[in-house]
Amino acid sequence: MAWTLEGTYFENCSCDTICPCTWSGLTAKATHDRCKAMLAFHIDRGEIEGVDVSGLTFALVADTPPVMSEGNWKLGVVVDAAADDAQMGVLGRLLAGDLGGPPAMLGPLIGEMAGIAQAPAEWSEDNGKIAVRFGDLIDIEVDTLVTPGLDQPVQLANIFHPANSTLTVSPATKSKVDAFGISFDGTGTSGFNAPYAWSA
């Protein structure tokens, strides 16, 4: 059955400044021995197999080798505690790659699926700042980067990424992740945001 999700995404990872994995299509080495990342997605409008998932938020938490295209990722998923059983069921299938679309693209790269957890989600967007909190597991805010004297934000264009081919550079102003045995503080490190529209 067809499905669609639309909303806003942002990420933060442990790489310095601008993540090499992002601009290289996952082929350049991360700036540290491992790449630890959090990708958050807020669903403005969404329906999966007839189940309305609008208003929910979920996040992917990953620990990968320095060259992400080599695979063997450890990946966990955190879903908004507001999701009921039906919503959890369809989101779980979607994010596992069972329903096709961008999540299925990640399947061959995953070496360990660390599980799915639920936590109370708080999402906010204000004047270029985007933040998400999932209980005690994730607390991150990024801030859109605008060069002084210019009107538009700094962007990466024409890249390979599951959220969008154009990402707005948004370094993290605060960052704490401690989920699935993956922990990092990405304050001041690489971040991006973009609208996303997924369907299959």
- The whole-number average pLDDT for the span 105-133 is 93
How many angstroms separate the CA atoms of 49 and 67, rounded?
Answer: 35
73-80 and 110-119 strand pairing: parallel
CA–CA gap between residue 165 and residue 171 (Å, rounded): 18
State which H helix or E strand residue 88 sits in. helix 85-95
Is there a contact between 44 and 56 (Cβ–Cβ < 8 Å)?
no
Q: What is the per-residue pLDDT for 28?
A: 63
pLDDT in tens, 122-177: 999 999 999 999 999 999 999 999 999 999 999 999 988 889 999 999 999 999 99
The residue-averaged pLDDT of 106-112 equals 86
d(CA 197, CA 72): 27
- What per-residue confidence (pLDDT) applies to 1? 64
What's the chain's Rg over C-alpha atoms?
A: 16
Distance CA 137, CA 92 (A): 19
Indicate if the pLDDT at residue 27 is higher than 80.
Answer: no
What confidence category does residue 106 fall into, taking pLDDT thresholds of 50, 70 and 90? confident
Other beta carbons within 10 angstroms of residue 112's beta carbon come to 13
Assign residue 158 a region: left if phi > 0, alpha if psi is -120 to 50, beta otherwise? left
- What's the whole-model pTM score? 0.93
Q: What is the pLDDT of residue 197?
A: 96
- Summarised one tens digit per residue, pLDDT across range 133-144 is 999 999 999 999
CA atoms within 13 A of residue 97's CA, in its CB half-sphere: 12
Q: When comparing pLDDT for 49 and 26, which is higher? A: 49
Summary mean pLDDT of the chain: 92
- Between residues 103 and 10, which one has the greater pLDDT? 10
The CA distances from residue 99 to 16, 44, 56, 90, 110, in Å, are 34, 20, 18, 9, 16
Phi, psi of 120 (to 5 degrees): -60, 130
3-state secondary structure of 109: helix
Q: Which residue has the higher pLDDT, 17 or 125?
A: 125
